[in-house]
Amino acid sequence: MSIWRVLLSIICPPLAVIDKGCGSILITFLLWLCGWVPGVIAALVIINNPNR
């Protein structure tokens, strides 16, 4: 997990998970629309997942 990816997930979470697949982008975008904090948390969890 690079520092640039973390900063991007704080600024705009859907852009941080753009290479993780359509489902991840959609989930992060919907959570980001509900509130900034849930979107950031979802992006950080998806980025930090070693299985993807």
pLDDT classification of 52: cutoffs 50, 70, 90: low
16-51: per-residue pLDDT in tens? Answer: 999 988 999 999 999 999 999 999 999 999 999 878
pLDDT of residue 50: 77
pLDDT of residue 42: 94
DSSP secondary structure string, 1-52? --HHHHHHHHH-HHHHTTTS-HHHHHHHHHHHHH-HHHHHHHHHHHHH-TT-
- Comparing 1-5, 8-12, 24-28, 39-43, the range with the smallest average pLDDT is 1-5
For the residues 11-17, what does the mean pLDDT come to? Answer: 93
